[in-house]
Amino acid sequence: MQTKNTFSWIREEITRSISVSLMIYIITWASISSAYPIFAQQNYENPREATGRIVCANCHLASKPVDIEVPQAVLPDTVFEAVVKTPYDMQLKQVLANDPATNKDVHFLKYPIYVGGNRGRGQIYPDGSKSNNTVYNATAGGIISKILRKEKGG
C-alpha cells in the first residue's frame, strides 16, 4: 500500500514537471519576425545585418538633415572641435523644468551626444517611387548606345 502511494506520487511529480517545462518552452519560444517593410523583406532575409544594424537604416536614416562643421585639416596629436547642428522648427516650444534656485531637489545631468549622418543610397521602391535620400537625375535624355574607353584607362 505504501509503495503504491509512493509510485503514484512520483508519477504525478514527473507529469507535473514535464507539463511545466513544456509550458515554459512554449511561452519563451520566439517566432521569426516578419514585421519589417516589404522593400527590406524583398532584399534581406533577416531584418538585421551581420553587424547587428537594422536593414531599414539603409533607406530611412537620411530623412533628417544634420549640419557638421569640422576643420579642413588636422595635424597629428592635436585636439579639434566639431560643431554639430540639428535644424529644428523654431516655433516649437521647449518643455520647461522646475527652477533649481527655488527647488533644491532638482538636479540636471550631462549626457554625451553621439551623431551619425547616413545619407542612404537613393533607391527606388517596388511601386516605382523614389526614396527621399538622394535623387540623381540625368541632365540629358536618351539611350546609351556605346561606351568608349579612353587610352589611359579612364
Q: Where are the domains of the chain?
A: 1-30, 33-133
Q: Is 36 labelled as part of a ligand binding site? A: yes
Asked whether residue 125 is marked as a ligand-binding residue, the answer is: no
67-77 pLDDT per residue, tens: 888 888 888 88
| pLDDT tens digits along 12-50 | 889 999 998 888 887 777 555 555 666 667 777 777 777
56 is in an annotated binding site: yes
CA distance 58 to 134: 12
Residue 60 is labelled as binding a ligand: yes
Coil vs helix vs strand at 54: strand
